[in-house]
Structure 1
Amino acid sequence: MVAKTPIRHSTTGDGPPVVLMHGLFGSGGNLGALARSLASDYSVLSVDLPNHGRSGWLEEASLARLAEAIVDWMDGEGIPRAALVGHSLGGKVAMEIALSEPGRCAAAVIADIAPVSYPPHHDAVFAALDAVHKARVRSREQAAQLMAQHLEDEGVIQFLLMSLQRGDGGVYDWRFNLEGIKRDYAAVRAEPDVDQPFSGPILFVKGGESDYILPQHRERVLALFPDAQVKVMPGCGHWLHAEQPALFNSIVGRFLQQHYSGAQQVL
């Protein structure tokens, strides 16, 4: 079976399948340290979400449509069931799959995101991305200078520059579908549109300094994921997997060891 939306992925290791999904504006390599740490026990598949990296673009990218594209890709790869690990947007897609297709999710780890609707907060990022796109820059340095007019965090600038590519005529532009992401921004900020709870094992990992998972989200989390566990990583913001990778990798690895055994291997 061929996936309807082409999904680019890389695979490392051997064992039960674990699917890693990155956040907004990212790509599969963002969780590379985690992939390497799990490769001794699992077959780790790091995907580029639709509209990101080298995967195909969607005409409409709601959480449901993103989840559908990943499940369709799993079918094409012969993966009936897997553990899902997602950061930010990837975590929302993982939750959507667990809720809408619970048989496909053996266990899930959700990094610093909750199943709630979030207010818009990427205006400066979009302004920086638009500035680079419109300027038709011819170097990464020029792109960084333009972005610095809108973004103060050098870490965010460098993260975004990972998705800048050189095209025809030496002009640089974004590899991800900028217009599509802007178009569907409200849809990916929304909460999952599923009310049937997922009763399987799921772990929420919160950055201690991040405001993406808050006490007022507890009721909604438990309503949808009654078996949810929560781990807090002190001193971390939203990019917890990059800020303290050893700790993050250890938390994910221990959870999978406890809740995801070789019994879930692809048959």
Structure 2
Amino acid sequence: MNTSIAKLHYRKIGTGEPLIILHGLYGSSDNWFSIAKALENDFTIYLLDIRNHGKSQHMPTHTFEDMTNDLFHFMNEVNLTKSSILGHSMGGKVALHFALKYPEKVEHLIMADIVARNYRDNPAKANQADQHKEILGGLLSVDLDKYKTRKEVDKFLEPLISNEALRDFLLKNLKNDTTAGKLTWKLNLEVLYNSLGVLMSSVNYADLEAMDHIPALDTTLIRGLRSGYIAEEDIVKMKSIFPSLRIYDIPDAGHWLHSQQPQLVINAVLDTTRKK
């Protein structure tokens, strides 16, 4: 096996045409399991943990090229010649990068609350990159030799990450390592911290405009109307790049639209995959 390719943990459920689901930064396949269960009568679903997340292999680099290569290798490994791909946030950019590089392998491209923006320059949420730096910096500051429970870690993090819901989400990445006899992170924190610049800026409009040809991808964008990740100018830009782009607006949902309005996200996936 190519040593630069990560071994990806995945779950497979359902019957029907294949659908790969890619989670976002700090997430895992667990975050999308309830969505997958609701879709299992319509698709054979592959829920992946992206490298440096969940139960997948920790690697020294974390670029969109890395994650695209991992996905290409995974599809070959499980004998998938073509699949629909649903990606949320970071996973959505992986899905877009993959679809542009291997359009013949993508049936439907579905991006959940992410666009091809350089998020280091985002008018909808100007300090986004700094927020992620603070989050990862906070997690890196936890001395896990001192704490035995998630509750203790939560108490330490509270002054650093004030949003309780966000802390709860992040703390799902703690696990009891029986071999080490202590709590450890599922996330490869140092690599993710050092990769933030790439994650925030790569797969952007400049990258797409530099391409000689953008394939006529069957593309859908699902956005949370309370999210700060997509500005109106992004919609105009995305439509100019993908003229047949379908957009599903999810009311009363922010960036984590799949947990805030799961049924509407399920409906959007079913609707878009039946329209081609």
TM exceeding 0.5? yes
Distance in 1 (alpha carbons) for counterparts of 2:2 and 2:75 = 10
Aligned partner (choices 141, 145, 148) of residue 151 of structure 2: 141
In the alignment, is the contact (CA less than 8 A) between 2:108 and 2:218 conserved in 1?
yes
The match for 1:177 is: 188
5+ residue gaps, structure 1, are 260-267
Aligned counterpart for 2:162 among listed residues 124, 134, 152? 152
Matched residue, 1:264: none
User: Which amino acid is 2:115 matched to?
Assistant: A
Name the SS for the 1:23 alignment partner: coil
Change (3 A) 1:136 1:73: farther
| Equivalent residue number for residue 48 of structure 2 | 47
Give the length in aligned residue pairs: 259
| 1:27-106 correspondence to structure 2 within 5 Å | 27-106=28-107
Q: 1:133 to 1:100 in 2, by over 3 A?
A: farther
Amino acid corresponding to residue 168 of structure 2 in structure 1:
Q
DSSP 3-state at the match of 2:42 = coil
Deviation, structure 1 residue 109: 1.1
**What are structure 2's unaligned runs of at least 5 residues?**
121-128
Q: Percent identity?
A: 25
SS at match of 2:141: helix
* TM-superposed deviation, 1:125: 1.1
Residue 205 of structure 1 and its aligned partner are, at CA, apart by 0.8
Q: TM-score, normalised by structure 2?
A: 0.88
**Which of 226, 249, 252 is the aligned partner of 1:209?**
226
Distance in 1 separating the partners of 2:35 and 2:88: 11
User: Deviation of residue 134 (structure 1)?
Assistant: 5.6
Deviation of residue 188 (structure 1)?
1.4
The equivalent residue for 2:271 is 254
1:114-160: CA deviation from partner (whole Å, max 9, x where unpaired): 11111213133113211324664211111111111111211111111
User: TM-score, normalised to structure 1's length?
Assistant: 0.91
RMSD of the alignment, in Å? 1.8
Structure 1 residues 159-188: Cα deviation after superposition (integer angstroms, max 9, x where no partner) = 111110112453212111111111111111
Once structures 1 and 2 are overlaid, which stretch shifts more, 127-136 or 45-54?
Answer: 127-136
Paired residues of 2:145 and 2:182 also in contact (CA < 8 A): no
Separation in structure 1 between the aligned mates of residue 268 and residue 7 of structure 2, nearest angstrom: 31
**Separation in 1, partners of 2:99, 2:143:** 36
* 2:123 alignment counterpart: none
Compare relative contact order (CA 8 Å, sep 6+) and give the higher one, 1 or 2.
1
Q: How does 1:219-230 map to 2 (within 5 A)?
A: 219-230=236-247
Letter of the 2:154 counterpart: A
Tell me the SS of whatever aligns to 1:258: coil
Q: Distance in 1 between matches of 2:2 and 2:18?
A: 19
CA distance in 2: counterparts of 1:132 and 1:117, whole angstroms:
30
Q: Given that residues 128 and 149 in structure 1 are in contact (C-alpha distance below 8 angstroms), is that contact kept between their aligned partners in structure 2?
A: no
Deviates more, 1:159-168 or 1:84-93: 159-168
Does the aligned pair in 2 maintain the 1:8–1:47 contact within 8 Å? yes
| CA distance in 1: counterparts of 2:55 and 2:143, whole angstroms | 18
SS in 2 for 1:25: coil
- The amino acid that maps onto 2:74 is W
* In 2: Cα distance, 1:198 partner to 1:62 partner: 22
